[in-house]
Structures are given as C-alpha cells and as structure tokens.
Structure 1
Amino acid sequence: MSAIADSTAGPTEVVKVLFALFPGYNTLDVAGPLEVLSRSLHDPKNKATRAFDCQFVGASAAMTSVQGLTIKADMDYNDANDELEDFDVIIVPGGDGVFDVLDKKAEPLNLLTKYVELHEKNPEKERTVLAVDIGSLLLAHQGMLEGLAATTHPDFYVRLETICQDAARRDMSMRTDVMEERYVVNNARFDLGENPDDNPYIIKKSRQPVEDDGPNMQHARRKSIARKGSNAMRDSRRRESIARRAQMPLGGMRVITTGGVTAALDASLYLVGSLVTHESALEVARVIQYSWVKGVTVDAIDV
C-alpha cells in the first residue's frame, strides 16, 4: 500500500489493485469491482482520499472481453511479474476465456503462482486474491484452493469440485470445500479481531435472523467495528496474527471467490469494508443503490 496525503487526518493508504486480464474475460467481472473500488474513499467528504489504485495487466496492449469491451492494459505480464510485490490485491475475472487459459496454461496462471510464492516468503504484508465467477477455476488449477473453502458460478460447482479434486491428488494435499454462497472469504487476515463472533464481516454457514444494518445491507451480523486506520494494524496483536496465519494455507493470504457477476459487487464491498472501513463500504453501496448481501467468511476450516 502507498500513502497519500490527507490534510485533515494525515497520511492514508492507497490499496494497489491489479486486474489480471485475458482474452474473453467477462465485462461485468471487471467493471463491477472497478466501480465499487474506484468509489471508495477514506473520507467520504474528500475525493482526494481515494482508497484504491486499480491497474490492468494483459498479454497484449488491448484486451477484449466476451461482450466486446476493450480495455487498455497498463502493463504486460512480464512487467507485472517484476512489479508483483507492489500489489496488495489481484482480481481475476471469469468469462469464456478461462477455458482457453486452462487449455494453453497461459497467464494469469504463472502470475498467480508467483504471487503465492511471494506471499509465503513474506506473509507480513496483507495480500488478497479475488476470483470472480469462474475465475475461481484458475485458482483451483494452480492449487490455491487446497485446504480452503470456495464458490463459483452455480453452473460450475461440479467443474470446480473436479478441478479441486484433481489438484489435491496431484499435490497430495487437502481437499476444497465448495460452498453455494455469494462469496467465500478464506484467511481473513487482520479483519477478524479477537472475537470473531462480534465481527460484522463474518456470517456463518447456517444463516440465522440477524440485525439489519440499513437499506443497503442484508444479512449483516451487527453494526461496524471496522479498523480505526492503518496504525491499528501495527500493534502486537497484528504480529501474533501474522505468525499464526503464516502457518495457514498460502501463508495466510486472503482468498476470495464469488458466484456470478453481481456477487462480485458483494465481495468488492467486503474488500472495501476490510481494507478501508465498514462505513466506506456502506457509503459506496448507498451511492450505487445496491443492497449488499453478505457471503461467508472462513477463518480456518477442517477439511
């Protein structure tokens, strides 16, 4: 994360996000998260306090979606691999092109593997991979979902299970718990707190009637207890958390998978809530007139 100046509250952090594009990605798998993240502010009254800096990597200078939208790439995959340490979040869209990537063993597969290796060497930094829709199949192929829980588009639950089983056998590793949820978060990193039961980001598998957090929130556990800024992450509890999470799959990297394209909005709002503030996420949901539906956060699962 890089710092930007905030005249009222001192430096704030900009989260650097890399969208990993390939030919035939889904337009909304990119546009949805981009819309949410680009509207997120540390201070809702100050547009200079933007929370995310989004960039695009592609195999060529212009990457075209299934629907015909072309996005200019900021860098190619060679440059992205060289600069990988700079990025806090990698977002992998779905789309028909996923199957060509799998068949050709093309990017972003290598980028994802390098990102995991980078994090396992240095788990102190907070890193996230968000796979939208069937982008989760790419994570599964690379063994990134072994020992974790995951979801995907409902039409591809069986395909995801099959790829995960093949990867587990190949790597002699743990199976994946495929869940029918809007989004699934693993290794939630630093946003769980000392008492996960009191955390607004965590919803259990068995949904119980819970408090409503307003018209832009559904299935919320309770009102926000979001972080009070980046300094709160540097105390001794954070160090203890890092040490514990380093023993988890992928060195404790946060891994998020989603269902279809609209579920990416829900997961992106979660990302805003966990990396900026819960209030910032609620404000983005209000502005775009979207009802945020919570998914499942899994700290550690027995698989």
Structure 2
Amino acid sequence: MSAIADNADGPNEIIKVLFALFPNYNTLDVAGPLEILSRALHDIKDKESKGFKIEMVGPAAAMTSTQGLTIKADMDYEDANEELEDYDLIIVPGGDGVTDVLDKNSEPLNLLKNFVTLHEKSPSKERTVLAISNGSLVLGQLGMLEGLAATTHPDYYTRLETICQTASTRDMSMRTDVMEERYVVNNARFDLGDNPEDNPYIIRKQAVEETVGPNTMHARRKSIARKGSNAWRDSKRRESIARRASMPLGGMRLITTGGTAAGLDAALYLVGSLVSHDSALEVARVMQYSWVKGVTVDAIDV
C-alpha cells in the first residue's frame, strides 16, 4: 500500500521512514527532521494518530556524528536492503562523513540505488528520498539527479555541479539544474488548479532551461521566490501511474535541501504533503519555528 491511500478519504496510514546513517553525519540533519516528523499527527487533536514511524540504519551498531552525538542503529544495511519494500521515505543527512561515503563508494549508495530500482519496478507506491545539505552529493554521484533540479549547502554548489556533470557524462544522460533554493522538490503530487502556468507553487523545468540554456555546464539558477506546495492528498485529481512511471526515477519524489536548517523546512514540507498542511502548521507552531518554503520543479501533473 502507498503511504498515501489512493482514496484520500481512506484510513490514515503510517509513513515508514529510514534515516540512512554513516560515520560523521551532521547531528541536526538527523535530529531536526526527526523532531518534526515524530510530532506530526494525522489528527492534531489525537496524539495517537502518528503520521510517521522512524528507524535508523547504519554500517555499525551505533553511529557518531561530527558533533559527537551517538545514535543506535535499528538495523544494518544488509537487513535494510532486504526490507526496503517496507519503507516510504529515506532521509540522507549531510556531514563531514559524506566525503568518505563518496570516496569509498560505501552505504548508503547501494541502499539508494536499490530503492530507485524498486520504485521503477513498482511506481504505484509513493516513495520519497530526502537529502539534506551536502547529502545531495551522494545522490549526484549515483546519477539520481540526472534530468532533475537540486540544491545543497551553498559551500557545495560548485562541487555538486561538478559531480552531476561527471555523472551525466558517464551515463550519457541529462544534466542537473543546481538551484540556490531552501529546498527543491522533484516529482511532487498536488493539484495545479485550472491555470497551471500561473500556479505560484511550481517552476517549470523548461523555464529554467530557457533562462540558462539547456547545454550550460553550471546551470545554477538563483531563487525567483515562487515558494511552497499544496498537499497532494487535498487534491481532487488523481495522477496517471503511466505518467508517473515515465518520469525520472519512475516518478519518485526527490527532495534536496540547502544547509542544515533547511532540512527542517523540507521536513515540514513532507508533513504537509504526506499527512496534512494543518499538521505541518501545528508542528511549526509548537516548535515556534518559521517555515521557510522552497520550490517545486516538474510535478506529476505538469
């Protein structure tokens, strides 16, 4: 079953989340989204109506962050790969350890590759990958960002551009549009309304190419402040599975963020999209956090 039922009036399902840890992850890249997702409720008046079930995977029994926080893993990567079909959302943090992951070609690279393969074979289930800060470099090296748009911590814009260019050349595939945004969502699901061209929540990838040119190596586009997203489950439209399957990654939602605090914003976006907008607003209120919204590129309905 999808994390979001085909019938929007159906029962509220638990979205299963897997944090893909590695040595020297960044603490807040995990703790921030963990705080937000664990607070999300399908019914903001019912504390038992949890929206997410969260687990941790790591290459060892416990993973220590760059800042010294140790988190116990619920499973190792071998078990996680075997049980991958159970999960709806994988979160990849950033941190100093990203460099070792890339240099050693280590997990979570294989986990993410298998998650994409699984979704391409079974696109009817809604799946999401969220990469926070320089965690987006992991997706870039795998080729997961080819033909999509992405962002990362500002210190890593050029590195992400280079990694994505190398991947697109290697795979003879489409380039990546690196954007200076709070977070960037690809393959979203929400109602575009009667006039999609005027929808303030979406940026057409075509418009980006018209601005920077389709063959530009470093095609970074600065924010034009078209922010936000509506929850897909509030839409009266229903997408075509065939349309979804024809998109990059089989239409799997893929989100990348800027620096660490932007991971909080993207986590609130996920609450709004997968649970409800009201739930996201309530989480932000309780945390006294001002939600800064990012952009959506090429949604399912476009």
TM-score by length of 1: 0.85
For the residue of structure 2 that corresponds to 1:245, the secondary structure is helix
AA in 2 matched with 1:102: L
Is the contact made by 1:2 and 1:14 (CA closer than 8 Å) also made in structure 2?
no
In 2: Cα distance, 1:227 partner to 1:156 partner: 34
What is the distance in 1 between the residues matched to 2:28 and 2:121? 33
Describe the superposition over 1:195-248 as per-residue Cα deviations: whole angstroms up to 9, x where unpaired: 55686754785236xxxxxxxxxx558xx66624xxx78xxx5352x2112111
Query: Contact (CA 8 Å) 1:2, 1:16: kept in 2 or not?
Result: no
Q: Which residue of 2 aligns with 1:80?
A: 80
Q: Gapped runs of 5+ residues in structure 2?
A: 4-8, 205-222
Q: Which residue in 2 is equivalent to 1:216?
A: none
Give yes or no for the alignment of 1:272 onto 2:271. Answer: yes
| 1:255 matched residue in structure 2 | 254
1:1-303 to 2 correspondence within 5 Å? 11-188=11-188, 190-193=189-192, 195=194, 196=196, 202=202, 205-207=223-225, 227-228=233-234, 237-240=237-240, 242-299=241-298
* Post-superposition offset of 1:193: 4.5
TM-superposed CA distance for 1:299, in Å, is: 1.4
Give the AA of the match of 2:296. T
Distance 2:15 2:144 in 1: 22
Q: Secondary structure at the match of 1:119?
A: helix
Whether the 8 Å contact between 2:231 and 2:273 is mirrored in structure 1 is: no
Instruction: Find runs of 4+ consecutive structure 1 residues off by over 3 angstroms.
Output: 192-205
> SS where residue 261 of structure 2 aligns?
helix
SS in 2 for 1:179: strand
Instruction: Encode CA deviations 1:267-302: one digit per residue, 9 max, x unaligned.
Output: 01110111011111111111101111111100169x
Paired AA for residue 25 in structure 1: Y
| Unaligned residue ranges in structure 1 (runs of 5+) | 4-8, 209-218
Q: Is the 8 A contact 1:191 1:227 kept in 2?
A: yes
- Give the secondary-structure state (helix, strand or coil) at the position aligned to 1:255: strand
State the Cα distance separating 1:11 from its structure 2 match.
3.3
Question: CA separation of 1:33/1:139 partners in 2, compared to 1, >3 Å: closer, same or farther?
Answer: same
Aligned residues between the structures: 276
**Aligned partner of residue 67 in structure 2, secondary structure:** coil
Return the letter of the residue paired with 1:155.
D
Letter in 1 for 2:271: V
String of CA shifts for 1:122-178, please: whole Å, max 9, x gaps. Answer: 111000000000000000000000000000000000000000000000000000000
Letter in structure 1 aligned against 2:78: N
**Separation (CA, whole Å) in 1 of partners of 2:272 and 2:91:** 17
Q: What CA distance in whole angstroms lies between the structure 2 residues aligned with 1:288 and 1:13?
A: 24
Query: 2: CA distance between counterparts of 1:197 and 1:18?
Result: 35
Q: 1:35 to 1:225 in 2, by over 3 A?
A: closer
Q: Is the contact between residue 190 and residue 231 of structure 2 (CA under 8 Å) also seen in structure 1?
A: no
30 and 62 in structure 1: CA distance in 2 versus 1, 3 angstrom threshold: same
Cα distance in 2, alignment partners of residues 200 and 227 from structure 1: 18
> Residue 284 of structure 2 aligns to a residue in which SS?
helix
Q: Contact 1:150–1:257 at 8 Å: present in 2 too?
A: yes
SS in 1 for 2:180: coil
Distance 2:107 2:84 in 1: 14
**C-alpha distance in 1, partners of 2:101/2:81?**
17
